[in-house]
Structure 1
Amino acid sequence: MVLERRRPGSRAAGGGMRGGGKLQAQGQARARAPAAPGQGYFTAGLAGLFLCLTALLVLLPLVLPPLPPPPLPLLLVPVGLMAVLLALALVPSSDGRRASGASSCLY
């Protein structure tokens, strides 16, 4: 079996790359670096808070006495909000960005 000696300037050692060899090697080193702990979207504390809120939402209706129905004007608030949002969605815009004949939601 013949063993080859590699020169320090060979491609395997990274010396044979031209141009962005160092930049490419640095980018690969950054890509392989492990993420720091606690950098995700959900931490352990946040997961615990969500579990507590879920337990409260499940258990409180079982413990609390039933409440009387709300007054009628209070029940109309979500209907009014929906009517306002629907009107805003369908009323043509006045900023001039709209193409002629198209809906206000299609620019």
Structure 2
Amino acid sequence: MVVERRVWRNRTRRSSSPGGAAACGGMRGAEGKQQGRVRPAAPGQRYFTAGLAVLFLCLTALLVFLPLVLPPLPPPPLLLLLVPVGLMAVLLALALVPSDGLGTSGVASPCLH
């Protein structure tokens, strides 16, 4: 019985990890049955708490009222305005330049075959 629990724990760890058997497509047997299951959150654990709601309300109020109170700022230098354009050009170049060493499919895989 102890061995069965260890095997079950190892299977659930492997299938839930990003680089585990689920990511590599190597699921067989009991691991394939667990693929569609979603674990519910623990009873005391919430993703959106009252403290976060208060924080978001304060940030919203600051973003609404500070521009009305603060004086207008001078425009930034022209060179600083070119930074987003340069970042976009680098990202576009990285997206369009072919990469090599990824195999025949052209898609990187975390699986080591």
What TM-score do the two structures reach when normalised by structure 1?
0.56
1:92 aligns with 2:98: yes
Deviations 1:22-77 (A, max 9, x none): xxxxxxxxxxxx9523x121111011101100000000000000000000111000
User: Which residue of 75, 82, 85 corresponds with 1:76?
Assistant: 82
Partner of 1:53: 59
Aligned residues: 69
Which ranges of structure 2 fall in alignment gaps of 5 or more residues? 1-40
Q: Percent identity?
A: 76
Which ranges of structure 1 fall in alignment gaps of 5 or more residues? 1-33
The structure having more radius of gyration, on CA atoms, is 1
**1:30-69 → structure 2 map (5 Å cutoff):** 35-37=42-44, 39-69=45-75
What TM-score do the two structures reach when normalised by structure 2?
0.54
Q: CA RMSD in A?
A: 2.5
Alpha-carbon distance in 2 for matches of 1:98, 1:74: 42
Alpha-carbon distance in 2 for matches of 1:98, 1:64: 57
Structure (1 or 2) with the greater helix fraction = 2
